[in-house]
């Protein structure tokens, strides 16, 4: 049931046009944000190992560093809010990671960049929404601090995709 609520929150965030009106619980925020960070780190580790393009490997190294830092900061904020971090990423992110594991060469690079675009768009909506309407001050502060970093990642991924 909890996973269904989280999936509904993710779907809501992905489809709703007005982030100011969106409201999710601190538990849902932490679960989705932590899963997103896990996906960013693990998918980027694949990119460092598998991409043939220097620009993609450099981006992936930045993702690993930045999302490792964000994960540590989320862990601290979640502790202050008495919210437990998930032990593993959600099913959606795990399925996307499996797709990347099965891609090779140019197909991997294209799939990785597209996955980064989607993940960062989703994460940015989540962070902006929670920063505006969240129910925990430590988590709201984390969301507000992290959103501009994720915005920069999204812009970088858009450049990598040719957009």
CA angle centred on 95, ends 94 and 96, rounded to 5°: 90
CB of 89 within 8 A of CB of 38? yes
What per-residue confidence (pLDDT) applies to 163?
66
Q: Rounded to two decimals, what is the model's pTM?
A: 0.84
Question: Is residue 22 very low, low, confident or very high in pLDDT (cuts 50, 70, 90)?
Answer: low
CB of 74 within 8 A of CB of 85? yes
Q: Cα–Cα distance between 119 and 116 in angstroms, integer?
A: 5
The full set of domain ranges for the chain reads: 2-9+26-81+89-160
CB count in 10 Å sphere of residue 45: 14
Span 63-101, pLDDT tens digits:
999 999 999 999 999 999 999 999 999 999 999 999 999
pLDDT over 90 for what percent of the chain?
Answer: 82
The class that CATH gives domain 2-9+26-81+89-160 is mainly alpha
Pick the more confident residue, 10 or 46: 46
Q: Cα–Cα distance between 134 and 122 in angstroms, integer?
A: 16
């Amino acid at each position: 049931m909890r996973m269904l609520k989280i999936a509904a929150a993710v779907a809501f965030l992905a489809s709703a046009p007005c982030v100011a009106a969106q409201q999710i619980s601190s538990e849902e925020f932490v679960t989705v944000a932590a899963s997103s960070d896990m996906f960013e780190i693990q998918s980027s580790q694949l990119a460092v190992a598998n991409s043939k393009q220097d620009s993609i490997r450099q981006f992936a190294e930045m993702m690993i560093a930045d999302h490792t830092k964000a994960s540590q900061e989320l862990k601290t904020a979640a502790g202050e809010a008495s919210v437990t971090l998930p032990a593993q990423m959600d099913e959606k992110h795990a399925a996307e990671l499996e797709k990347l594991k099965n891609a090779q060469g140019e197909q991997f690079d294209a799939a990785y960049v597209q996955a980064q675009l989607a993940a960062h768009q989703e994460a940015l909506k989540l962070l902006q929404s929670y920063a505006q309407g969240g129910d925990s001050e430590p988590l709201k502060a984390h969301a507000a601090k992290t959103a501009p970093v994720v915005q920069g990642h999204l812009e970088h991924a858009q450049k990598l995709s040719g957009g």
